[in-house]
């Protein structure tokens, strides 16, 4: 499983070197993003008239490093309040930007931006946009600092060490726990065909292992969702199709991850304590028969790692 992200962080030589140190980043290349001409060359971009930003294209394994962690690192490598200038490099080509190809990334990016903003006295100048276009830069720009260790870089060497020495332990530990839960559930459910019994033990094991706030199922009964086996406080019993996070996941026929429930229009607050949520459809013979809903008392508890494992868990 791999995801990708495009980050403009000023001069791309140092930025690429920085990001490639992070555990879980599986691929990097430098190039030009979100500009207005076809096949730009470095010289053209250097004139600062093409609209392109020097950008690092990253691929990463979300079971090793979360988008949130990558963005935390990103903010360490830039001055997010500086418009069109990083270090001594000036121009729109050195602007900062987070460009995404998966619209599901946007709530996480917005969350990271909102977390970062109060740390600075000035407004953030980082643009957040879908990726419109990207052209890899000429070969000699790729892995520039590996090939030119004394080359120019606006980033301090200590930052590269920092990226190398700090892994996303929260994600690594979470992935390890899920792998174990997955195995335990395989054993527990061997030979059992009763859906309610299986749901009950799945909810119990997940809830015990991760100490979530609320872990349970809503079953599709007629044209609504009806409360099923769960662990945690008393909850709403009926949820209409398309309503709340649960009803939306059913309607959209896909997993929904909500880093901040207050930012989800129509979220149903069974409990005011719930602050982030994931809802995973449970399918049998191609149709949705239930949703697995997990709530947390903390913001941004769930990400692609949870999604990956929970989708596997409900499919078994």
Binding stretches for ligand SME (CB under 6 A): 214, 235-236, 239, 244-246, 267-268, 270, 274, 277, 293, 295
Nearer to ligand SME, 270 or 290 (CB): 270
Minimum Å gap between C-beta 240 and ligand SME is: 10
Minimum Å gap between C-beta 316 and ligand SME is: 23
CB 7 within 8 A of CB 53: no
Nearer to ligand SME, 10 or 229 (CB): 229
Nearer to ligand SME, 18 or 230 (CB): 230
- Residue 100, SS3? strand
Minimum Å gap between C-beta 205 and ligand SME is: 18
Minimum Å gap between C-beta 267 and ligand SME is: 4
Minimum Å gap between C-beta 127 and ligand SME is: 31
Nearer to ligand SME, 64 or 274 (CB): 274
Nearer to ligand SME, 50 or 274 (CB): 274
Cα separation, 93 vs 99, whole angstroms? 14
Say what the alpha-carbon torsion angle 71, 159, 53, 263 is, to the nearest 10 degrees: 10
Nearer to ligand SME, 93 or 267 (CB): 267
Catalytic site includes residue 11: yes
Residues 6+ apart with CB under 8 A from 12: 30, 31, 54, 55, 56, 137, 141, 144
Cα separation, 230 vs 12, whole angstroms? 49
Question: Of 55, 92, 163, 78, nearest to 124 (Cα)?
Answer: 78
Cα separation, 232 vs 230, whole angstroms? 7
Cα-based distances in Å from 277 to 39, 65, 197, 212: 42, 19, 24, 10
Q: Which two tokens stand for residue 98?
A: 């987070």
Question: Of 246, 304, 260, 311, nearest to 282 (Cα)?
Answer: 311
The DSSP symbol for 149 reads T
Catalytic residue, candidates 11, 153, 270, 305: 11
A 10 A CB-CB count for 59 gives 14
Which residues form the catalytic set? Answer: 11
């Amino acid at each position: 499983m791999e995801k990708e992200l495009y980050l403009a962080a000023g001069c791309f030589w140092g930025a690429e070197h920085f990001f490639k140190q992070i555990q879980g980043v599986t691929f990097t290349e430098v190039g030009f993003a979100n500009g207005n001409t076809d096949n730009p060359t470095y010289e053209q971009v250097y004139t600062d008239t093409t609209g392109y930003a020097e950008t690092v294209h990253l691929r990463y394994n979300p079971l090793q490093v979360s988008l949130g962690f990558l963005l935390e690192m990103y903010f360490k490598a830039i001055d997010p309040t500086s418009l069109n200038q990083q270090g001594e490099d000036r121009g729109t080509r050195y602007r900062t930007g987070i460009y995404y190809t998966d619209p599901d990334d946007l709530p996480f990016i917005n969350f990271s931006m909102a977390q970062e903003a109060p740390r600075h006295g000035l407004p953030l100048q980082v643009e957040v946009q879908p990726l419109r276009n990207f052209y890899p830069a000429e070969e000699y720009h790729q892995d520039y600092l590996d090939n030119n260790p004394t080359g120019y870089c606006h980033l301090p060497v200590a930052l590269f060490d920092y990226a190398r020495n700090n892994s996303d332990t929260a994600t690594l530990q979470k992935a390890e726990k899920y792998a174990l839960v997955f195995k335990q559930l395989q054993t527990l459910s061997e030979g059992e065909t009763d859906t309610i019994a299986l749901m009950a033990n799945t909810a119990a094991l997940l809830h015990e292992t991760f100490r979530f706030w609320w872990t349970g199922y809503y079953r599709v009964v007629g044209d609504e969702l009806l409360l099923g086996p769960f662990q945690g406080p008393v909850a709403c019993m009926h949820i209409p199709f398309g309503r709340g996070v649960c009803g939306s996941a059913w309607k959209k026929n896909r997993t929904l991850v909500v880093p901040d429930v207050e930012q989800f229009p129509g979220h149903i607050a069974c409990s005011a304590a719930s602050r982030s949520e994931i809802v995973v459809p449970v399918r049998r013979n191609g149709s949705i028969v239930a949703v697995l809903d997990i709530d947390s008392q903390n913001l941004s508890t769930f990400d692609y790692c949870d999604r990956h494992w929970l989708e596997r868990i409900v499919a078994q």
